[in-house]
Structure 1
Amino acid sequence: MKELLTTERLLLRKIHVSDSESLFSIWSDPDVTKYMNIDRFTDVSRAREMIELLNHLSQENKAIRYSIIKKDTQDIIGSCGYNSLDYDHSKVELGYEISKAYWGKGYAPEAISSLVHYAFNSLGMNRIEARVEPANKSSVKVLQKLNFTFEGTMRKCEKSKGRFIDLSIFSKLITD
């Protein structure tokens, strides 16, 4: 699995425990975590635990997470990656979040575009999926901007933060 992906303005570097403080500031923001399937973090130790879990899943080739770093400042502005890697069916599921200070500046589509390219051209995937709460309009816009296809909404398909939620599924195929 590649340790570093680059775009015009960003570096996507495999997540490190040393990123805990920076990612804690993002994962503790209620506006950022509103549509995530985690409760906002209240202690930096939770960020360390999450990073250790993500790195364990990466070692098992089940997932991978990257810190999103602005090239010009070296600031960590979010994370993204594949929440699941399914080699049997040649598909991945995307996940991503950006610090509120960087919303609306095109960083999410830039980072996700790099993940799409890597999944198709280096990992040999056929399908990329993203599951999004319908109310998460910003995330829906990112996927639409990248020409993902809306496939439908799965009703009350997951429990998140004590309630059942709908999830819209978007996909992109290598042939798209």
Structure 2
Amino acid sequence: MSVQTLGNAVLIVLVIGWIGYRQMTWRPVSIAKMWRFPAIAAVVGVVLLVQQVKPSSLTPLDLVVVVAELVISLAVGAWMGAIAHFRPLAAPVQLGKDARYVAVYESRTGVLGLVLWVVVLAVRVVMDVVAGMAGSHLAEATGIILLVLAANRVARTAVFAARLDRHATLAA
């Protein structure tokens, strides 16, 4: 087992724990703040990919694996956004010091959201192992994990935003 594979495993365990906790608890929703994490994860993922992968070593298999993982992650993220439960807060809550991050609702996805996360990560691990055995070097890159995570959060946030916009329109 390489250091990179061990690092990926540790990263996956930490992500499961952190996101699992967040799926099960009610959390204030600020769409503006929700866009930050996927943006940061995507940038860090791309930087890691640029450092770890030489463009000349990419194969069609690498591209197929990455596209498949991203599509699955986007689909599951949209599903997570669709199953989320919302409830209004008693009073608006400012999240942090930035006045742009105000929440009027809180949400959670519960057990099904946690199961969907496990599915995303299991698909990631299986594709990493199978693609690695087939000769894909890109599938093993740590940056791909962050891009898959970012894609999932982007889709989830987009669905959250659409649902909350519809709710605000109906409430008005």
TM surpasses 0.5: no
Q: Which has the higher strand share?
A: 1
Higher RCO (C-alpha 8 Å, min separation 6): 2
Q: Which has the higher helix share?
A: 2
TM-score normalised by the chain length of structure 1: 0.26
